[in-house]
Amino acid sequence: MKEFFPQVREILYEGPKTDNPFAFRFYNPDEVIGGKKMREHLRFAMSYWHTFCGEGVDMFGAGTLDKSFGGKNPMEIARNRAHAAFELLDKLGLDYYCFHDRDIAPEAQTLRETNARLDEMTALLTQLNREHGKKVLWGTANCFYNPRYAAGAGTSPSAEVFAFAAAQIKKAIEITTALGGSGYVFWGGREGYDTLLNTDMALEQENMARLLRMEAEYARSIGFKGDFYIEPKPKEPTKHQYDFDAATVIGFLKKFGLDDIFKLNIEANHATLAQHTFQHELCVARINGAFGSIDANQGDPLLGWDTDQFPTNAYDAALCMLEVLRAGGFVNGGLNFDAKLRRASCDMDDLFHAYIAGMDTFALGLRIALRIVADGRLDAFVAQRYSSWKTGIGEQIISGRAGIAELERFALEKGDVMPSSGRQEYLENLINGILFTE
């Protein structure tokens, strides 16, 4: 087989002091820390769409990176991309990948022909998975690119479009199952609205719930054993998306009785678009038993859209991994780099620099998060801050022995009260101390 990235050799761990740009400084896949190998803690995945389909196009300009890999027609390009993808997975030591149906096989004239292309590519990917020992973290359907989905898919005003989307997702679930995927994602790119003047919001949300239930039941009926995830995002491409943030999605799932079926795939840049921190969204998912998987990327605080940059902010990665540890770690989920090169990063080498940076950042995040846990002062501070709930009136409230009358009596007798200091500045400096030791 032709080598697509001959200039890059296998990327190995060389430790923090190496000056080799094609080596890991912090990610040492088989090193056991916190009771598990790093590769098992982190479960890194490649995003097929950004890495093998995105060519660096923006609203104002053409692509800067050719991703045809020498292919001369759409299916030849698709096959070459698959071979190139597995070379990149091997060289970076990535165990997983994530894909949309349309990433692996281009859409044809009819649904029937498109499905036949998907079958051909599924056969090739099955073979490549086996030969290279790679796995699918999750699959999904692209129900936002084609003009038929201009007004939504599951929330389209057209029942015919809804039916088409249902059929497309059914097929995407079949190929994800055939490829042994451990998850299936629903990201509602256009499941929202641009103006309420033309929108029946109640019907659109009920229909979305109908679609989710039908697809999940179908998936189980054909033996899909993985997780189902909803990926919240507040806006872009629609002005308002129904899957706004973790809390909104959890409310939606509970309203329609779907909360036992779906977990969340939290994306860092979507959190910031919703004016939350990444850590906030992960925490909301965790405390509601909905933590599932992560799209690891980062936005730019000065830009109000989904810039999907490779994550390099070690502080955010540390706080993210702290939430992952608190959630008990990944089960079927993992860290998918839903991230792309900046348009001016126009060499294939940049793909490797980007993944090395993202993987090292999260490896560093994991190392720091484990140090924060081992240090114990942060957890001890929080426990102390809430200690009034363990004894006295707090214990009586929680056990149900103090009702409104007892609380009034307590307050009348006690006089004015104040919480103890939150010590934010002390804690931020404490985290810095843990970050910048060793």
* Cα 296 from Cα 312, distance rounded (Å): 10
Residue 91 binds which entry of ligand XLS, Ni ion, none, CB below 5-8 Å type-dependent? none
Nearer to ligand XLS, 207 or 293 (CB): 293
Residue of 103, 191, 267, 281 that binds ligand XLS (CB under 6 A):
267
Min CB(12)–ligand XLS separation in Å: 29
For residues 296-335, which are near ligand XLS according to CB under 6 A? 306
Residue of 39, 117, 134, 233 that binds ligand XLS (CB under 6 A):
233
* Cα 184 from Cα 246, distance rounded (Å): 17
Residue of 95, 174, 281, 338 that binds ligand XLS (CB under 6 A):
338
Residue 140 binds which entry of Ni ion, ligand XLS, none, CB below 5-8 Å type-dependent? ligand XLS
Question: Is 260 noted as a catalytic residue in this protein?
Answer: no
Nearer to Ni ion, 49 or 252 (CB): 49
Of 41, 95, 101, 103, the active-site residue reads 103
Residue of 187, 330, 337, 355 that binds ligand XLS (CB under 6 A):
187
Q: Is 281 in the site for Ni ion (CB under 5 A)?
A: no
Q: Is 295 in the site for Ni ion (CB under 5 A)?
A: yes
Q: What b/e readout covers 152-182, taking b as 16+ CB neighbours within 10 angstroms? A: bbbbbeeeebbebbbebbbbbbbbbbbbebb
Residue of 103, 306, 316, 360 that binds Ni ion (CB under 5 A):
306
Listed ranges 26-34, 165-173, 176-184, 289-297: which one lies at the site for Ni ion (CB under 5 A): 289-297
Of 41, 50, 100, 276, the active-site residue reads 100
Min CB(186)–ligand XLS separation in Å: 8
Q: Is 338 in the site for Ni ion (CB under 5 A)?
A: yes
Question: Is 270 noted as a catalytic residue in this protein?
Answer: no
Q: Is 231 in the site for ligand XLS (CB under 6 A)?
A: yes
Min CB(334)–Ni ion separation in Å: 13
Q: Is 323 in the site for Ni ion (CB under 5 A)?
A: no
219-258 mask for Ni ion (x: CB under 5 A)? ----------------------------------------
Please state, in angstroms and as integers, the Cα–Cα distance from residue 216 to each residue in 11, 148, 213, following that order. 38, 23, 5
**Pairing relationship of beta strands 36-37 and 291-295 according to DSSP bridges:** unpaired
* Cα 297 from Cα 199, distance rounded (Å): 32
Residue of 95, 295, 316, 360 that binds ligand XLS (CB under 6 A):
295
Listed ranges 54-62, 66-74, 195-203, 338-346: which one lies at the site for Ni ion (CB under 5 A): 338-346
Q: Is 267 in the site for Ni ion (CB under 5 A)?
A: yes
Q: Is 103 in the site for Ni ion (CB under 5 A)?
A: no
Q: Is 140 in the site for ligand XLS (CB under 6 A)?
A: yes
Min CB(177)–Ni ion separation in Å: 21
Residue 87 binds which entry of ligand XLS, Ni ion, none, CB below 5-8 Å type-dependent? none
Min CB(342)–ligand XLS separation in Å: 17
Burial of 298 (0-12, 13-18, 19+ CB in 10 A): buried
Min CB(102)–ligand XLS separation in Å: 10
Please work out the total of residues on this chain that contact ligand XLS, with binding judged by CB under 6 A.
Answer: 10
Annotated catalytic residues are: 100, 103
Q: Which residues contact Ni ion by CB under 5 A? A: 267, 295, 306, 338
Q: Which residues contact ligand XLS by CB under 6 A? A: 100, 140, 185, 187, 231, 233, 267, 295, 306, 338
